C-alpha cells in the first residue's frame, strides 16, 4: 500500500515538473513582455464618414478585445513569432443625435521589434476584417451631414488597417493606443446615388490584463 502511494506521489511530482517545464518553454517563445493572452477594454472615438465633401461625424464609444499571441504556435517561423490574432467589438452610441455605430470582427497584429523599446514601448501594425454597423435613428442630427447615411440600420463589410503602440506598465497590465481606418468599399451614397469607398477613422485607447 505504502509503495503504491509512493509511486503515485512520484508520478504526480514528475507530471507537475513536466507541466511547469512546458509552461516555461512556452513563455520563452512569447518574447519579452508579451504574454500569451490579453483581454482589453478601451475608449473608442469613431470619425464616421458622412459623405463625400462632408465633415466626418465624431461618435464616442467603448469596446473590448481579446487577443492571443501566435508565437507558441509559430514553430521555426520568425514572422509568425511576432504576430498575434484577436477578436474585437466596439459600440458608439449617440442617443442625443440619433446616430450610432458598432464594429466587430477579427484582427491580425504584427510586432516588428524583437522586444519593446526601452522595455516599455512596443509598436505594432494591424489589419482588421469585419463589419461596420451604422444606426441612423431620427433625431436632432442635421439633414445635410447625414445625407449619405441611410435611415435605419445598415451593416457594411469593412477592412481596417491600422497601427498603434503597447505600453506594458506592470507584469500583467498593458496600456494600448490604436489608430485605424475602417474602409467600406462600394458604399451606396443616399444623396448622390453613386457608390464610393468611404473612410471612417477610428481612435482607441485603453488597458489590458494579460495572462
Per-residue pLDDT tens over the stretch 12-59:
434 443 433 333 333 334 554 678 899 999 999 999 987 777 788 889
pLDDT at position 192 is 62
pLDDT at position 22 is 39
Question: Above pLDDT 90, what percent of the chain?
Answer: 43
Report residue 143 as a C-alpha cell.
439633414
Give the number of C-alpha atoms closer than 13 A to the C-alpha of residue 200, restricted to the C-beta side.
Answer: 28
What's the rounded Cα separation, in Å, for the pair 200 and 156? 12
Report residue 70 as a C-alpha cell.
501566435
Cα angle for residues 203, 104, 107 (degrees, 5° grid): 75
Kindly give the residue spans of alpha helices, DSSP state H, lying in the chain: 2-29
Q: Looking up cell 478601451, which residue turns up? A: 42
Mark the ranges of the chain whose per-residue pLDDT is less than 50.
1-3, 5-6, 9-29, 32, 139-140
Amino acid at each position: 500500500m505504502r509503495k503504491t502511494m509512493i509511486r503515485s506521489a512520484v508520478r504526480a511530482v514528475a507530471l507537475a515538473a513536466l507541466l511547469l517545464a512546458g509552461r516555461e518553454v512556452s513563455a520563452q517563445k512569447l518574447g519579452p513582455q508579451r504574454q500569451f493572452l490579453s483581454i482589453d477594454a478601451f475608449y473608442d472615438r469613431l470619425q464616421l464618414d458622412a459623405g463625400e465633401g462632408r465633415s466626418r461625424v465624431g461618435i464616442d464609444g467603448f469596446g473590448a478585445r481579446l487577443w492571443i499571441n501566435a508565437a507558441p504556435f509559430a514553430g521555426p517561423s520568425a514572422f509568425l513569432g511576432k504576430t498575434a490574432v484577436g477578436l474585437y467589438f466596439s459600440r458608439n452610441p449617440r442617443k442625443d443625435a440619433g446616430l450610432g455605430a458598432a464594429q466587430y470582427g477579427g484582427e491580425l497584429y504584427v510586432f516588428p521589434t524583437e522586444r519593446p523599446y526601452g522595455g516599455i514601448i512596443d509598436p505594432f501594425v494591424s489589419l482588421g476584417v469585419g463589419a461596420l454597423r451604422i444606426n441612423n435613428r431620427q433625431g436632432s442630427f442635421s439633414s445635410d451631414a447625414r445625407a449619405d447615411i441611410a435611415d435605419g440600420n445598415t451593416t457594411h463589410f469593412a477592412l481596417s488597417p491600422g497601427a498603434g503602440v503597447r505600453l506594458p506598465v506592470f507584469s500583467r497590465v498593458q496600456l494600448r493606443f490604436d489608430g485605424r481606418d475602417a474602409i467600406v468599399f462600394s458604399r451606396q451614397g443616399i444623396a448622390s446615388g453613386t457608390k464610393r469607398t468611404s473612410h471612417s477613422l477610428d481612435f482607441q485607447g485603453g488597458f489590458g490584463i494579460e495572462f
